[in-house]
Amino acid sequence: MEVILPNLMMSISGIRGVIGDGLTPQLIVNFTQAFGTYLGGGKIVVGRDSRVTGPMVKHAVMAGLISTGCDVVDIGVCPTPTVQMAVMNLKARGGIAITASHNPIEWNALKLLDSSGMFLDEVQGNNVIKAVNEAKFRNVAWDQIGKSEIYEQAIDDHIKAILKLNLVNPDQIAKRKYKVVVDCVNGAGGTILPALLQQLGCEAIFINGEPTGLFSHKPEPLAENLTELCEVVKAEKADIGFAVDPDVDRLAIISEQGKPFGEEYTLTAAVNYVLSKKDGPIVVNASVSQAVDDLAVKFNTRVYRTKVGEIYVAQKMKEVKAAIGGEGNGGVILPELHLGRDAPLAIALILMQLAESGTKASELHLSLPQYFQAKNRIELKELDVSSVLDGLLKKYQTEKTDTIDGIKILWPDRWVHIRPSNTEPIIRVYSEAKTMEEAEALGFQLIQDVKQLLKSK
């Protein structure tokens, strides 16, 4: 079940919208009352990114939860993966991460977590949405309302858990004395990355490091938004640059030459390192680069693909006991830490790979299978998505196709994936090939196919 309005979206993973124009305090209270009613009370962890609307949203969240008899543990401004880990560590009934991730500054959102620290699945999420729609909330008596407490150790707990991983050797990284530049886009990264990099023995230079929530540039960690970071990496003669999104679950990498790896290569690099140390399958979504499949061949393992969305990847990882997984937007999931995308973890894994191999960041990038992706979009408007997808299936019936999430058409060295967005009223068209020109041509061809199908209706 999913509701999409211009300034408000409600789905199984939570609710997001524009503050004051869609996402109101009343709606936030109702939504969290529904979540508290669904959980039936118990301990709920609440954390938020640095958005300026965060305090207002947090107070509405706490009011809704406490009114249903839930006890709130407030862990303050922190990354979303820190909230996920705190739910596990504190043995909570669930959690709420208050963040609109990479959406513009006027947006905010609630991401709902179950007792394992994972996002809600479809059954759980639909139960919460049903409770919202029916407005049947568990309003407890005065002597049964919940309590609230502040827990200040969640970020330290997160860092300690990363440093204790068998895959991470802090001393080995520290010996390299890496000079690292980090762009936190004034998000929650500033609450965890200075301490993490200090404990890894790195000389860290931060730009946009204060968690003010006043984003210094577009918050999505894409190459076009990271020009300042690229320039500072070169000017400082740094070994590597990192950029995170406001809630610190996505990571982008910049080489010592000031060149972005590309968002697909965060996961690819992490997979390359983890599979060199442990056996097990890989789980990724349907849009992730074929580079991961090439690495699976190299390490004699298997790739499982899911629908786009962290919960689908995490569920499959749990099912098949994956060694590693994630999404191609810079999201890395390591199951022995927790089943969620985690940028601080990804930083530690990338630095370990550099420290162990003795290579430069640019050399690491070039050592990985090389592919190029083009990403396009088609505005939905009154578009009948199912008829378009059916038409494409018929047109490409002689080719290899995958319909786990929209339609993916595959050839030996290239593919194109067309699917409706989970977060916007658009169709996404992702294409990949050995050169950017080929990838762009493939995407253009699919868009023309869609237009032709619409003309024939």
Catalytic residues: 101
Rounded CA separation 391/381 (Å): 18
Residue in 292, 266, 269, 291 with CA at minimum distance from that of residue 281: 292
Widest CA span of the chain, in angstroms? Answer: 67
With 0-12 / 13-18 / 19 or more C-beta atoms within 10 angstroms meaning exposed / middle / buried, residue 283 is: buried
Structure tokens at 284: 């990724």
SS3 assignment, position 408: strand
User: DSSP assignment, residue 225?
Assistant: G
Q: If you count them, how many residues does the chain have? A: 457
Strand order in the sheet with 372-379: 372-379, 426-433, 414-420, 407-411, 400-402
> What backbone torsions phi and psi does residue 296 show, to the nearest 5 degrees?
-60, -40
Rounded CA separation 217/402 (Å): 37
What do you get for the CA distance between the two ends of the chain, in Å? Answer: 28
Rounded CA separation 162/53 (Å): 30
Residue 204's contacts (CB-CB under 8 Å, 6 or more residues apart) are 180, 181, 182, 193, 194, 197, 198
Structure tokens at 5: 């309005």
Rounded CA separation 19/200 (Å): 38
The tally of CA atoms less than 13 A away on the side-chain side of residue 277 is 18
Q: Are strands 240-244 and 179-183 parallel, antiparallel or unpaired?
A: parallel
Rounded CA separation 317/304 (Å): 9
Residue 396: Cβ within 10 Å count: 16
Cβ atoms of 256 and 361 closer than 8 Å? yes
Rounded CA separation 328/351 (Å): 19
**Torsion sign, CA atoms 281, 312, 85, 187:** positive
